[in-house]
């Protein structure tokens, strides 16, 4: 009889049938089984385990990890004893049983859609994505990876877009950046065996995903990508290979609480995959991921229909949508899902015009996205090439994005919502309680205290902060404001008070009701420092 | 045996089985049958005729028109002899046979989607919608209807949005505007019989639809509407009544070439109908309309998913989308259907803020819509109340919209397409041949002759017109421009020539390639006057 090993993730603990295994709630519990290495266990294998606790049941698929080792991973979504039994077409893997005790932890669990257009962890903690883009960081030498992790640790970014498969580039073929491991067995187009995954490659990728996750960074993991230049063939694999790849990725990664599935980057540039192919691929992810991690796809010149039921949120590349006010509210209304502008051009000095933004302009676009009740993702391509391999940040926007994050996280917990969106394009918050006005590159000298009338009542009092979004200052405006008579659309200060503004660009106003501090849920979230 | 009458529409011509009936291609051929008036022929009736010519076959439904008269209407889409036979569950209407000869005509046929984001008549003639809104004109006294028709005849509007069912308003209850006919039998909430349509009401509506159509105006006919204020009950009829109503409308109106189906106005305000209800209603229209007239729905605060396959085009109410450049291209990419901004606020002095635009601003929004590769619809609510009952136009925008229509109709026949849309937000046309730049309310003093590089080659020559969109002038810029060396993104005049602009708002530039007058299809369309 084979030895049955039950492991806490990455910690080998030999077990007997009597030992009481423990795993953190939302942690990764791993069943390790030894089996045969014959045949092709990437193709022929059927392996899963059903974890049961009372009426709850999850059946993650297992996967072959090479050298006769098979693994099944489980993320317990609640505390208590989970009993499991395996099922396999390999007799030596079938019918194994055990149990694991899930215990309380500080884990917040996977991020879900909350309040239609926003996000929260499974434990209810709100999550406001302020992402960045490091497509190829996992394919860099270890010293650069460590630099990337140190940079992220010091940043405010809490989501990272990264490729699961490297793009074809000459620097990966020779020299210090030469890649030795690939998703498939083999090292070049000539000898890639698309019927066999390379476990070492995925073990490395897992380690990097886990390292991001340990920093509290959500990993927006991109399954398919173009960028193959006809060289390796990773973007022209057959439908059968693609389906196996998806199931293998899901089996390996779904138990990580911080995973988001990005079906593709710039999907339309993968010429041989249609939207209908991605329909099926989405549904495979949906079927095999027991935890329902977020699912989206990132467009190039053909926008996938985000209304399809298996898409959880919009992951858009459409620069116009954040250059001007008013577009994100429209996207919210069209899709009724969270809108994440996952590429809004990059701060940079690239020869390519998508990477030529000033820090001021990238910051402005972030504010416009947030004022539209949406989210945005950072990228930088100064001489460092951050969006490719990571490393260090040299731009001026990350600090301002961190400042914006503080503003947002100390605002209404349910997230910013456009206020009177069809007639007032630069206001968001929570009507009656909290208003954020942003003036972009306009340089107003004054602002009459006039709010859209919704939820307001005569006599309500407000305090105002003048925010310099570029210099990152928050300056309380002396005194308070009191709502006077309401008109059909507007409510002004009873004394028609007008605020003086400094005539500088990138200013904002934060207007908060006095004595209306929302209860409970609206207290600052863990990790969300107030900005004043 | 009953007398069988075959009629040319609205012209009673007694026929025998030997007479050779004639109808214009895309005209309306009507079979008139006499039958019983017993029971409820609005509910119990099954009646259709199958018209056959070679392999082509159409089976429009018939309808009961009161007083024992049953009608089946047919719009022949091609010339030649169409043989028909009726089918009915009323024996006296069943198995009738005949034929009609469809002859050439000047009719252009129904408008279809063409070139993904644009429109053309069935005969291939391009159609660029420049619509207006006269929701209630069909419910006005005859003298006002005649005034409306005269106004439209003198205007450039070629599409009209109108309600098929009146809204509840006090002025329809008494006085000179009192309505005497309603869609259902009865005259008040107390006695409406929702199981019986009122043929006289629909006969009147048909006459008005036909009068618009005779002016060359497409009729965007709105089937369901809110605006009932809980009074007549027309927006809370049962699903069975709604389905009968749709089939009755389709049976009566589908043979008119100029019909567009608008499933609803501000659908979300009809509280008891969900998007799923409209899914079914769309499909009923689609099933029973043999000619596939255009189908859309017009939103209020919940946007129907225009990606659904039975929607032919977008009929949006979202003002932000035409206040700023760059949104229509996004909508085009999201829906891959024509985008019609069917409400962009109205020129007016209304107490309601949706009706407070200056003529300048409404005109600006039209230009922004067209520059985005989309279309827009006019409305006016000055003291005249045009958007309600029609009558006369008092605004300053219609003349400018007419001017814009001339510009568009003398441009690329396939319609304006955004050019380099993610980086140049105010240019449309046809790359390499025709560019329209619009500056909105900016007041530039100069414009360097620099075009996005797509389709351009060194040595190509262009002529430029300076267009004052408000004063409606087209002024050729002296000399010509020649493309010099191309850079990665841009092509400038070889002498780096810079155009002087007058520093006025609402200016545009039209840039046309010299010696590249497109062949054939791009010749001006019938009725499309060149503007210079």
Dig out the tokens for A357 from the structure. 């933004």
Cβ atoms B75, B27 nearer than 8 A: yes
What is chain B's mean pLDDT, rounded?
A: 93
Burial class (CB in 10 A: 0-12, 13-18, 19+), B445: exposed
Torsional sign, CA A250, A256, A257, A262: negative
Which segments of chain A have a pLDDT < 70? Answer: 1-19, 516-532
Q: Rg (Cα) of chain B, in Å, rounded?
A: 25
Dig out the tokens for A69 from the structure. 């080792």
CA distance B313 to chain A (A): 15
For chain B, how far is it from start to end, CA to CA, in angstroms?
64
CB spacing of B326 vs A326 below 8 angstroms: no
pLDDT at A517: 53
CB spacing of A307 vs B303 below 8 angstroms: no
Dig out the tokens for B256 from the structure. 């008119």
CA distance B346 to chain A (A): 13
Q: How many CB pairs under 8 A join A and B?
A: 68
Dig out the tokens for A175 from the structure. 């020299």
Q: Which of A327, A329, A489 sits opposite B330 (nearest CB)?
A: A327
CA atoms within a 13 Å half-sphere pointing along the CA-CB vector of A531:
23
CA distance B379 to chain A (A): 17
pLDDT at B524: 38
Cβ atoms B234, B270 nearer than 8 A: no
Q: Which of B307, B330, B488 sits opposite A321 (nearest CB)?
A: B330
Strand bridging mode A375-377 / A339-343? parallel
- What are the distances in angstroms from CA B111 to CA A32, A183, B59, B282, B416? 65, 52, 20, 18, 18
Q: Which residue of A has its CA nearest to B326?
A: A320
- What are the distances in angstroms from CA B343 to CA A184, B366, B377? 54, 11, 6
H or E element at residue A223 = strand A218-224
CB spacing of B333 vs A302 below 8 angstroms: yes
pLDDT, tens only, B105-149: 999 999 999 999 999 999 999 999 999 999 999 999 999 999 999
Cβ atoms B483, B491 nearer than 8 A: yes
The residue among A270, A208, A206, A202 whose CA lies nearest residue A239 is A270
Q: Mean of the pLDDT values across residues B495-517?
A: 94
CB spacing of A320 vs B351 below 8 angstroms: no
| Order of strands across the sheet that contains B118-121 | B111-114, B118-121, B126-127
| Helices H / strands E in chain B, number of each | 9, 35
Q: How far is CA A12 from the centre of its chain?
A: 30
Q: What is the DSSP letter of A301?
A: S
Q: What is the DSSP letter of A448?
A: E
pLDDT at B526: 35
CA distance B385 to chain A (A): 21
The residue among A213, A267, A242, A265 whose CA lies nearest residue A388 is A265
The residue among B410, B495, B483, B413 whose CA lies nearest residue B453 is B483
B154 Cβ contact partners less than 8 Å away, ≥ 6 residues apart = none
User: Which chain A residues contact residue B318 at CB under 8 A?
Assistant: 330, 333, 422
Give one DSSP letter per residue of B423-491, joined into a string: T-TTEEEETTTEEEEE-TT---SEEE-EEE-TT--TT-EEEEEEEETTTTEEEEPSS-EEEEEE-SSEE
CB spacing of B320 vs A333 below 8 angstroms: no
pLDDT, tens only, A217-267: 999 999 999 999 999 999 999 999 999 999 999 999 999 999 999 999 999
Q: Which of B323, B353, B422 sits opposite A319 (nearest CB)?
A: B422
CB spacing of A330 vs B323 below 8 angstroms: no
Q: What percent of chain B has pLDDT over 90?
A: 91
Distance CA B389, CA B344 (A): 19
CA distance B321 to chain A (A): 7
CA distance A331 to chain B (A): 9
Strand bridging mode B97-103 / A184-185? unpaired
User: Which chain B residues contact residue A424 at CB under 8 A?
Assistant: none
Distance CA A142, CA A144 (A): 5
The residue among A208, A201, A209, A212 whose CA lies nearest residue A248 is A201
CB spacing of A327 vs B327 below 8 angstroms: yes
Q: What are phi and psi of A284, to 5 degrees?
A: -70, -45
CA distance B327 to chain A (A): 7
Which residues of B touch chain A, with CB atoms under 8 Å apart? 301-303, 305, 307, 318-321, 323-327, 329-330, 333-334, 351, 353, 421-423, 425, 488-489
In the three-class reduction of DSSP (H, G, I as helix; E, B as strand; rest coil), residue B521 is classed as: helix
pLDDT, tens only, B5-44: 433 333 334 444 445 899 999 999 999 999 988 889 999 8
pLDDT, tens only, B471-486: 999 999 999 999 999 9
Give one DSSP letter per residue of A103-148, joined into a string: E--S----EEEETTTEEEETTS-EE--EEEE-TTGGGS-HHHHHHH
Q: Interior CA angle at A372 toward A371 and A377, to 5°?
A: 85
Strand bridging mode B339-343 / A29-34? unpaired
CB spacing of A323 vs B318 below 8 angstroms: no
Q: Which of A303, A320, A421 sits opposite B425 (nearest CB)?
A: A320
Which residues of A touch chain B, with CB atoms under 8 Å apart? 301-303, 305, 307, 318-321, 323-327, 329-330, 333-334, 351, 353, 421-423, 425, 488-489
Distance CA A210, CA A207 (A): 5
Whether ipTM > 0.85 holds is yes
Q: What is the DSSP letter of A357?
A: B
Q: Rg (Cα) of chain A, in Å, rounded?
A: 25
Give one DSSP letter per residue of B214-234, joined into a string: HTT-EEEEEEE----TTTS-T
Q: What percent of chain B has pLDDT over 70?
A: 93
Strand bridging mode A193-197 / A130-133? unpaired
Distance CA A24, CA B325 (A): 51
Q: Which of B302, B422, B489 sits opposite A320 (nearest CB)?
A: B422
A510 Cβ contact partners less than 8 Å away, ≥ 6 residues apart = A407, A411, A434, A435, A436, A464, A465, A467, A474
Q: Is the pLDDT of residue B527 over 80?
A: no
Q: Mean of the pLDDT values across residues B488-497?
A: 97
In the three-class reduction of DSSP (H, G, I as helix; E, B as strand; rest coil), residue B66 is classed as: coil
| CA dihedral angle for residue B446, residue B449, residue B453, residue B457, rounded to 10 degrees | 180
The residue among B98, B100, B93, B82 whose CA lies nearest residue B47 is B93
Q: Interior CA angle at A237 toward A235 and A240, to 5°?
A: 135
pLDDT, tens only, B172-227: 999 999 999 999 999 998 999 999 999 999 999 999 999 999 999 999 999 999 99
CB spacing of B422 vs A333 below 8 angstroms: no
Q: Which residue of B has its CA nearest to A329?
A: B320
Q: Is the pLDDT of residue B331 over 70?
A: yes
User: Which chain B residues contact residue A350 at CB under 8 A?
Assistant: none
CB spacing of A325 vs B320 below 8 angstroms: yes
B118: which strand partners? B114
Q: Which of A323, A326, A353 sits opposite B320 (nearest CB)?
A: A326
CB spacing of A330 vs B320 below 8 angstroms: yes
């Amino acid at each position: 009889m084979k030895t049955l090993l039950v492991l806490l993730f990455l910690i080998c603990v030999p077990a007997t049938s009597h030992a009481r295994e423990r795993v953190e709630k939302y942690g990764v519990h791993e069943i390790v089984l030894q089996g045969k290495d014959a045949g092709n266990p990437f193709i022929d294998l059927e392996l899963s385990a059903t974890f049961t606790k009372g009426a709850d049941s999850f059946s993650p698929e297992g996967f072959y990890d090479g050298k006769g080792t098979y693994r099944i991973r489980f993320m317990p979504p609640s505390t208590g004893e989970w009993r499991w039994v395996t099922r396999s077409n390999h007799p030596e893997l079938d019918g194994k049983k055990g149990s694991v005790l899930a215990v309380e932890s500080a884990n917040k669990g996977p991020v879900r859609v909350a309040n239609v257009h926003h996000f929260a962890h499974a434990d209810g903690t709100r999550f406001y994505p302020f992402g960045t883009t490091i497509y190829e960081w996992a394919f860099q030498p270890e010293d650069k990876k460590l630099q990337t992790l140190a940079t992220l640790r010091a940043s405010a970014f809490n989501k990272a877009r990264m490729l699961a498969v490297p793009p074809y580039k000459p620097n990966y073929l020779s020299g210090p950046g030469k890649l030795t491991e690939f998703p498939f067995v083999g090292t070049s187009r000539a000898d890639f065996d698309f019927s066999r995954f390379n476990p070492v490659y995925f073990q490395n990728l897992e380690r990097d995903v886990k390292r991001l996750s340990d920093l509290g960074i959500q990993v927006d993991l991109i399954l398919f990508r173009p960028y193959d230049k006809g060289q390796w063939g990773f973007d022209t694999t057959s439908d059968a290979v693609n389906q196996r790849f998806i199931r293998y990725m899901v089996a390996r990664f779904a138990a990580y609480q911080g995973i988001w599935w990005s079906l593709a980057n710039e999907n339309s540039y993968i010429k041989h995959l249609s939207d209908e192919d991605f329909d099926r691929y989405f549904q495979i992810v949906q079927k095999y991921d027991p935890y329902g991690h977020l699912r989206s796809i990132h467009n190039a010149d053909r926008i996938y229909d985000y209304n399809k039921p298996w898409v959880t949120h919009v992951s858009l590349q459409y620069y116009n949508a954040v250059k001007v006010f008013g577009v994100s509210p429209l996207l919210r209304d069209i899709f009724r899902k969270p809108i994440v502008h996952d590429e809004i051009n990059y701060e940079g000095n690239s020869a390519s015009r998508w990477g030529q933004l000033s820090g001021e302009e990238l910051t402005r676009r972030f504010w416009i996205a947030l004022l539209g009740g949406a989210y945005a993702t950072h990228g930088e391509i100064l001489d460092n090439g951050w969006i490719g391999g990571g490393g260090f940040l040299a731009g001026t926007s990350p600090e301002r994005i961190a400042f914006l994050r503080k503003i947002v996280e100390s605002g209404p917990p349910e997230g910013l919502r456009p206020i009177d969106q069809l007639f007032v394009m630069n206001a968001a918050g929570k009507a009656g309680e909290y208003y954020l006005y942003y003036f972009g590159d306009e340089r107003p000298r004054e602002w009459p205290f006039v709010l859209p009338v919704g939820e307001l009542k005569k006599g309500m009092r407000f305090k105002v902060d003048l925010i310099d979004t570029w210099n990152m200052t928050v300056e309380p405006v002396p005194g308070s404001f009191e709502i006077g008579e309401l008109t059909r659309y507007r409510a002004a200060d009873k004394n028609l008070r007008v605020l003086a503004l400094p005539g500088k660009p990138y200013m904002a106003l934060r207007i908060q009701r006095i004595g209306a501090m929302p209860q409970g849920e609206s207290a600052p979230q863990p990790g969300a420092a107030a900005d004043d």
